[in-house]
A and B are shown apart, each in its own frame.
Chain A
Amino acid sequence: MQSRSFLLLLLTVALSLFTACGQTDDTLIIFSATSLTDAQEEMASVFAAEHPDINIQLNFASSSTLATQIIEGAKADLFASANILQMERIAEAGLLHEEAETFASNRVVLIVPSTNPKNIQGLADLTAPGLRIILALPGTPIRAYTDHLLSSAAADQDGEYLNSVLANVRSEEATVRLVLSKVVLGEADAAFVYLSDITAEVRDEIAIIATPVEYQSEIVYPVAILDEASPKELAASYIEFMLSPVGQSILAKWGFVLVSRIEN
């Protein structure tokens, strides 16, 4: 009796797996940089509400990991990257259907726990011995922007500045959200994340320390239809939606700077 109900259970599980695999042409698979998580989820749900017969699958990871997955043959219709470099990798591999379009822009910010235990007031304080700084892994876009910001700052500080800051790095996390979580948990004294990562849920747990605007790199987010995409029209209409006033207002809500504002 017992073994029969166990078999039934197994059968149910197996069947549900099969139905989960069943994929129609109306599935849109979006590979998206982790920093876009909240904005992309909201855009996808609004888009899905307007197109009830389609099914959107979101895959979030660092842009570099996503680019590697796509180059290694992962099936995706759209790729929304946190930087141009990773989009260029896909383009060089000949996997882009058409040229990428910029849909948003962002900023890198220095953050500390809201209690600011080490009393950090600016970039100059990051050299204090014993400080715990957390950065993202080399190769990720956020790390490239952070490195640019730190080396720009180093030009205005003494010669040992960069080495002293890097000596305080305690961990290199795979994604920017993991960097953020270490600050929220109070395990890190300082870290660099995107402005868009400071969502309502974490706003009370952290404080943003001002950094000079001239140290910032221009951070643009490109999106492109991949060669594999089917049907291409669906992917194109999603990009159109991202660039529409509705899409842009969702992006703005999550801390991204709008495309129109960069162009002006």
Chain B
Amino acid sequence: MRPWQFYFQRSLLLVTVPLVALFLILPLLSLVERTLRIGAGHALSGNLLREAIWVSLSTTTLSALFILIIGTPFAYVLARKEFPLRGLINILVDIPIVLPPAAAGIALLLAFGRNGLLSQWLPGIQLEITFTRTAVIFAQLFVAAPLYIRVAHLRFQQRQVELEEAAQVDGASPWRVFWSVTFPLAAPTLAGGIVLSWARAAGEFGATLVFAGNLRATTQTLPLLIERALATDIDAAIASAAFLLILAFFALLLARWLLRLPDKM
């Protein structure tokens, strides 16, 4: 390496890394510091927080399961099969990633709400999804599924032609090829994708608030508890924010590890 290059890189390092680290780490550090100061045990033992953790865990687990079951074959078809409007559908899939969550909530309300489009198309059937746990899952599916579908889609676009063809030549049915070759080969990447999606669902706030409302022990997830507690019990708000932070950190750690695994069985 030439000397000027060394100094160039070193000066960039000295300027940008502390700046970015300070900007990112300081808020997170403050959160953890305050949680420890107010006594995390006391704050975590509250009923409100326990109920919110249960609502969050049950809804995000179901959301992740649905995303896996529907998203995997969908991403596979999107990557491997030509069909009309594929380009358009490809764009539509990404929209929730850039859409403000509150806008997603309004969109869900106008689609699946009491006076929504679906209700108008199905006269005689009173849709009662809003303000239920189903609504929480709808909101999470809407905002989190695109992350998994995009990861899975990119993975399925890399074909293991030789292995898949070898299996086919040996007489395996397309179903068998998918389950015994394509899926296992992609499994670590898919697992990383689902962890990312799950983390996004766990942090979901705006769409849930608008579409599912905020009711203790029913639709009140951890992010919604933060808003509630901000007005009444700031210690609980700080503790749940810290809890979400720790959850997010380990989810990202797990996702990184999974996505870097060599893709083999």
Contacts and interface: CB of A to CB of B under 8 A. Distances in A.
A187 B214 contact: no
A173 B232 contact: no
Contact of B131 (A64, A171, A174, A186): A171
B104 to A, nearest CB: 16
Interface stretch (A12-20, A94-102, A132-140, A226-234): A132-140
A169 interface: yes
Given A172-B215, A173-B213, A173-B214, A187 B232 contact: no
Interface string B106-117: 000100011100
Contacts of A171: 131, 212-215, 219
A172 B130 contact: no
Contacts, number: 58
A107 interface: no
B210 to A, nearest CB: 9
23 contacts: A62-B231, A65-B231, A68-B230, A72-B234, A132-B131, A137-B228, A137-B232, A138-B232, A139-B232, A170-B130, A170-B213, A171-B212, A171-B213, A172-B214, A172-B216, A172-B228, A174-B209, A185-B109, A185-B113, A186-B114, A187-B109, A187-B113, A187-B130
B94 interface: no
B226 to A, nearest CB: 11
A177 interface: no
Interface in A103-142: 132, 134, 137-140
Contacts of A137: 214, 227-228, 231-232
Given A182-B213, A187-B114, A174 B227 contact: yes
Most chain A CB atoms below 10 A, which of B109, B113, B215: B215
A130 to B, nearest CB: 9
Interface residues of B, number: 19
Contacts of B230: 65, 68
Contact of B213 (A68, A134, A138, A186): A134
Contacts of B219: 171
Contacts of B231: 62, 64-65, 68, 137, 139-140, 174
A170 B130 CA distance: 9
A62 B130 CA distance: 24
Given A132-B131, A187-B109, A68 B216 contact: no
Contacts of A65: 230-231
Interface in A33-82: 62, 64-65, 68, 72
Nearest to B119: A186
Contacts of A134: 213
A223 B231 CA distance: 19
B115 A185 contact: yes
Interface in B134-159: none
Contact of A187 (B131, B209, B216): B131
Nearest to B232: A139
A17 B131 CA distance: 39
Contacts of B215: 169-172
Nearest to B219: A171
Contacts of A182: 213
